[in-house]
Amino acid sequence: MDDKGALAHALRIESLQFAEREIAPNLFAMAMNTEDSLREYIRLFVKNPLVSTFGPLAKILDFVANAAPGVKEILAVGKLCWEVRERNYDIVIVDAEATGHIVAQVDAPAILSNLVQVGVIRDQTRWMQEILHDQSATGVVVVTTPEEIPVLETIQLLDTLQSKTKVSVSAVVANRVHPDVVAGGDLAVFSQLADSVESGRIASEPASVLRAPLRLLCIAIQRRKREIGLLEQLATSAKERGVLFMPILEIDEQEAGITSVMSSVLKDELT
């Protein structure tokens, strides 16, 4: 929805437009923007072809958006709900905006419904809410990384979605999780070796060779410990949903099959 070209880059295709395009058999993609969403809304609901042929609608959009909160957000989420309602696709997957915007988007129909009690807008926000609040049809997949600020923001987002909206969370994914460098009984052996090198109990020549790689391993182990603590906090907040783990993958970012590899990892996590 906040098109920066990342999706097109991941799929190794040309930049996406508002008009959907088939990028693989039965797989369509598009880039959202509010101006084109407003243009389509006018064409579908206002039934005035002259209005939809106006030039840039940015000024109109700004005027309307300043008149009532949630207007820009509902244009974006309304387009998605429309596609679901019309059953144009088997499933609609949205690469949503960042944490600070997603709540306003998914809750926009409810906010606008409280402001407008009658008329067409009221009717439209009602069916949008029916789609968004239906746990069998809609769910938010929250993706984070095992770092302090992203995890704290994710925990806050999960709490906000639960307490202030009726939109369910389908899954929580921790991306770029580092593997254990040293684990189990090997950890005690490594600790003794590292202590011996640093304390000088090992001859100076071998110690000088081992010191640099051992320090790097110590950094990796401490990083992993911090990650585990953060992931435990995340899992506690996610509760019954649990957390799906996406490890750091040793693959070329330009590799065409990167999405297939990542989906395979998530499939293993789910099963």
Note the pLDDT of residue 168. Answer: 92
92: which strand partners? none
Is 134 among the domain residues? yes
Over residues 232-244, the pLDDT tens digits come to 999 999 887 889 9
Is 125 domain-assigned? yes
Question: Residues with Cβ < 8 Å from 74, sequence gap 6 or more?
Answer: 108, 109, 112, 125, 128
Does 156 reside within a domain?
A: no
Instruction: Indicate the average pLDDT of the chain.
Output: 80
Most confident of 1-10, 58-67, 166-175, 189-198: 166-175
| Domain range enclosing 47 | 1-138
End-to-end Cα, the chain, rounded Å: 29
* pLDDT score for 43: 74
Q: Which one-letter amino acid corresponds to residue 41?
A: Y
Number of domains in the chain: 1
Q: Which of 33-47, 115-129, 193-207 has the highest mean pLDDT?
A: 115-129
Asked if residue 201 belongs to a domain, the reply is no
What pLDDT score was predicted for residue 69? 57
Q: What is the spatial distance between Cα 75 and Cα 81, in angstroms, rounded to a whole number?
A: 10
Residue bearing the bigger pLDDT, 190 or 76: 76
Query: 208 lies in a domain?
Result: no
**Contact in structure between 196 and 204 (CB atoms under 8 Å):** no
Pick 39 or 205 by higher pLDDT. Answer: 39
| CB burial string 3-18: b at 16+ within 10 A, e below | beeebbeebeeeebee
Q: Does any domain span residue 13?
A: yes
Determine if the pTM surpasses 0.85. no
Domain assignment present for 64: yes
Q: Could you tell me if residue 119 is inside a domain?
A: yes
Instruction: Determine the average pLDDT of the residues in 218-227.
Output: 86
The pLDDT tens digits of the residues spanning 204-217 come to 666 666 777 777 77
